[in-house]
Structure 1
Amino acid sequence: MMKPRDVNTIEQAKRIVEERGLTHVKVGIFDTDGVMRGKYMSKEKFFSALDHGFGFCDVVLGWDSKDQLYDNVSYTGWHTGYPDAPVRIVPDTCRDLPLEEDMLLFIAEFCEQAADLCPRNLLHRIVQRAEAMGFDPFAALEYEFFVFKETPHSARDKGFKNLEPLSPDWFGYSVLRNSVHSDLYQQILDMSEQMDFPIEGIHTETGPGVIEAAIAVDQAANAADKAALFKTFMKVLAQRNGLMATFMAKWSNDYPGQSGHIHISLKHRDGSGSAFYDPSQPHGMSEIQRHFLAGQQRLMPEFLSLIAPTINSYSRLVPGFWAPTDATWGVENRTTALRIIPGSEKTQRIEYRLGSADGNPYLAMAAALASGLYGIQNEWEPEPMVEGNAYEQQHPGHLHLPSTLWDAAQRLKNSKAARELFGDAFVDHFAASREWEEREFRKHVTDWEMARYFEII
């Protein structure tokens, strides 16, 4: 019997479906916000789609995470009638769905004109740029997420207030907590192995019911697939256990925000090893790593909306809560936006600490990788290294990060580098989608406004 992760071709995809005697297969595609949209397809339709592609309503590129339709984009909308866009199934993404017996899952991606806007396709274009420059990019993502003793119904009934976390109080790296809840942890570990997003480490973080999981390193394109699948099916697993997992950047002002850090490195395609490691240089940083770091630093303010894509993302980016507020870098310094991790030929890397848990893994990875490649291309040099607490130091104005989603969208829209790296079609569409998100937010009155103004003003 063929194993799902041995599938590489269309014929092998058909074979494994036949071997399992499946009448239907699950197919999913990730939208602009990193939400997996999909359907069950009959075997006959699935086989035809493998050979010829199929059509998927392009509304998933024209609505937000609440299925509300953008009114400010040109690619799709009422003016186009929301037609089907061409989509291809990617055979080598085949996965077991352990929560559904013998069911199989395949990832799909948009083609032709829609490919310009497709997050997965965008990342693959950036990876191809790296390969053309002689590099193979490797990456690993790690996520913090809170788990609650709630269901989608109970959370809404409570108005998302007074939610009960899986465990109380602050207790990071707790053996007590992960032993008491070992059944849940084991389910997470088992699922991650069976679906091929293996977890290198998992532990409680500081805060009630918060868990951090580090996904094992892989080539950058594969790493993004694994991260996107982890976020999706961690939520599925939680709900099947009568729980809820959230990847919001910050669900409460009483607790730290939730990050989605990216560890990234380059290897030479010619087999000569790490492009980041040079033992003769300070901190083992090669010239290539220095330029890569400089690109990430200089373009971080322009690419922020790709890394922090929601209104809520900016509630996390405040001083003192382990989230950077300026495009700074340091060596083994967790107060900076970019952390150099010195090591060896195998371990020398950069941790892109800006990322929020709510980010789309494909877009966050594309931003972190593309900016670094642009730094290499232009032979940029980084600003001086930060030592000590970055929050307590003054930094040049050009290192300040936008403080709202609207401002971040404007920086992206006006970024020459973004248009060169990602294309005009994507930049215009994504920036418009973030402007929409900010306008949707401004339609609502918050609890803070009511408590501050209702009686007194």
Structure 2
Amino acid sequence: MSAADDWQEVLPEAAQAYLEGRRLDEVECIVADIAGVARGKAMPASKFAKQTQFYLPNSIFLQTITGDWADVEEMPYTEPDMVLTPDFSTATAAPWTADYTIQVIHDIHDQTGAPVPIAPRNVLRHICELYAAEGLTPIVAPEMEFYLVAPNIDPAQEVMPPMGRTGRRAAARQAYSMSAVDEYGPVIDDIYDFAEAQGFEIDGILQEGGAGQVELNMRHGDPIRLADEIFFFKRLIREAALRHNCYATFMAKPIQNEPGSAMHIHHSVVDSKTGQNIFSTPDGGETPEFLHFIAGMQRHLPSVIALMAPYVNSYRRYVPDFAAPINLAWGRDNRTTGLRVPISGPEARRVENRLAGMDCNPYLGIAASLACGYLGLKEKVPPENEYTGDAYSRMADIPNTFGEALAVFERSEAVQRILGREFCRVYQAVKALEYKEFLQVISPWEREHLLLNV
């Protein structure tokens, strides 16, 4: 048996089914950078089979979304190599390619074998390990919102909704409309087909409130696996859209006067030995841990908004009455609150964090959210009283600009400690540089209203 046969035999069932009777041409060795962009190498399958490790410089985590490079004093710019080892459990098809290609996410260690602490996937793994040390297993279920938009090759032009099957542009304010989804049915069909080929399970797809805005619901499960799937899904959805002359965007607020796109995260925590949801008592009631988890999110979420809303555009989503929260109120079955407790049976009792934007790195957004809940479980303080009215009428209590969010992030001792100081230094440096670059840009609004009037 050849080396190639050896490694292909350990691939997940969906990947093996995709390759059945076919010759694998290429393997993409990938990791997620700070922004959640896929970085890595593509190589012939025959070469991949002969190697057990690969290398990338640690500078990939210093790159901004604009392609610049942050300067971190504790990281001399010699670009030492990190060691990448394939995690074959993540192997999945790339069914949009012309040849037969498999994608594999890689674990990242330094040259001594220690996990690289600034790698986003390692940050999430570290948070999960903190839960495991307490005998607990966190469970998440993310929701993905995104827009299908007309091709936009000129950044100076406003983003427009896509043209539908009827020849009309997608309409807004059609939430849950099946006819609206049918307008771009061919794109949805390809999303389903690609997901099936990749072995991903979709709980449902629905029309959201914006023009061309779609929500995709995912099954609940292990945080790292779900973050991997979101990482893959973003590419999958973009590729499906390109097949039909439109773009898919995960930008938090791509269209003026339309709702933004969120990545709502549902959380529960189970006892690792018994599998019981620690948010529910044996008779179905709410436990102190349930309330402590909520309290931790209320207390610490402002410090991690910079990870859940990682760009200046992200804060355009936090607008009252535009389906996005503006504060940290919590309530049962109340979609105006930042923290919602959905209707469920005791075994599925959970907390939904509605603050994270779809533009966040899924590893970091989920890690930050779980970190806040973990701190609540350790601190054992009660939450505010449940909010039963329209929470949009309450004052905002989250940072409302990216600069403010970065400052709160930098000042939080608890968050710096739990996420890792080295990671926080790198994230702060990358995002501060992005913010500085943004502040050099003069917007059309400024030219229109200030050029001749002030």
Both proteins in one fold, TM over 0.5: yes
Determine the C-alpha separation between the residues in 2 that align with 1:10 and 1:83.
Answer: 30
Deviation at 1:403, TM superposition (A): 1.4
1:246: which partner in 2?
Answer: 249
Give the letter for the 2:313 counterpart.
N
Where does residue 219 of structure 1 map in the other structure?
222
1:22 counterpart letter in structure 2: L
Contact 2:93/2:197, CA 8 A, preserved across alignment: yes
CA–CA separation in structure 1 for the residues paired with 2:435 and 2:55 = 31
> Is the Cα contact below 8 Å between 2:161 and 2:211 reproduced in 1?
no
Q: What is the deviation of 1:413?
A: 1.4
Q: For residue 23 of structure 1, report the CA deviation from its aligned partner.
A: 4.2
> 1:452 Cα shift?
1.4
More helix by share: 1
Distance in 2 of aligned mates of 1:272 and 1:439: 47
Instruction: Tell me which of 31, 43, 47 is aligned to 2:45.
Output: 43
Normalised by the length of structure 2, the TM-score is 0.90
Question: What secondary structure does 1:116 align onto?
Answer: coil
Secondary structure at 1:59's aligned position in 2? helix
Quick check: 1:29 aligned with 2:26? no
Instruction: Please provide the CA RMSD for this pair.
Output: 2.4
Q: Aligned ranges for residues 103-118 of structure 1 at < 5 Å?
A: 103-112=101-110, 115-118=116-119
8 Å contact from structure 1 (residues 311, 437) kept in 2: no
Q: Are 2:170 and 2:180, in contact at CA under 8 Å, matched by a contact in 1?
A: no
Structure 1 residue 69, shift from structure 2 partner: 1.6
Deviation at 1:47, TM superposition (A): 3.1
User: Structure 1 33/417 Cα, relative in aligned 2: closer, same or farther at 3 Å?
Assistant: same
Cα contact 1:8–1:92 (8 A) shared by 2: no
**Counterpart position of 1:67:** 67
- Distance in 2 of aligned mates of 1:48 and 1:328: 54
| C-alpha displacement of 1:164 | 4.3
Amino acid in structure 1 at the alignment position of 2:121: R
Q: Which residue of 2 aligns with 1:12?
A: 10
Matches within 5 A, 1:86-101: 86-100=83-97
CA distance in 1 between counterparts of 2:34 and 2:138 reads 23
Change (3 A) 1:331 1:423: same
Equivalent pairs: percent with the same residue? 30
| CA distance in 2: counterparts of 1:362 and 1:164, whole angstroms | 29
For the residue of structure 1 that corresponds to 2:331, the secondary structure is strand
Cα 1:140–1:75 change in 2 (3 A) is farther
Q: Find the aligned partners of 1:293 and 1:316 in 2 and give their Cα distance.
A: 23
Distance 1:443 1:134, change over 3 A: same
Secondary structure at the aligned position of 2:360 is classed as coil
Deviation of the 1:267 alpha carbon: 1.2
State the 1:137 CA deviation: 1.2
TM-score, scaled to structure 1: 0.89
Cα–Cα, structure 1 residues 158 and 294, in superposed 2: closer, same or farther, change >3 Å?
closer
Question: What's the CA shift for 1:21?
Answer: 3.4
SS in 2 for 1:429: helix
Is 1:147 matched up with 2:144?
A: no
Unaligned runs of 5+ in 1: 1-6
* Matched residue type, 1:55: Y
Q: Distance in 1 between matches of 2:159 and 2:295?
A: 44
Cα shift at 1:342? 4.0
1:68-104 CA distance string (max 9 Å, x none): 222x32355xx52334322222111011222235321
For structure 2, list consecutive stretches of 5 or more residues without a partner in the other structure: 164-168
Distance 1:272 1:299 in 2: 27
Alignment correspondent of 1:3: none
TM-fit CA distance, 1:158: 6.3
**Which letter maps to 2:412?**
S
Q: Where does residue 55 of structure 1 map in the other structure?
A: 55
Structure 1 residue 199 displacement after superposition: 1.3
Identify which of 78, 82, 88 aligns with 1:85.
82
Supply the distance in 2 between the matched residues of 1:453 and 1:180 (Cα, whole angstroms): 41
Residues 84-136 of structure 1 show CA distances to partners (whole Å, capped at 9, x for unaligned) of 32222211101122223532110113213671100011101111111111111
1:264 is the counterpart of 2:267: yes
Following superposition of structure 1 onto structure 2, how do residues 328-339 of structure 1 map, counting pairs within 5 Å? 328-339=329-340
Q: Which shows bigger deviation, 440-449 or 192-201?
A: 192-201
The separation in 2 between residues aligned to 1:199 and 1:172, in whole angstroms, is 19
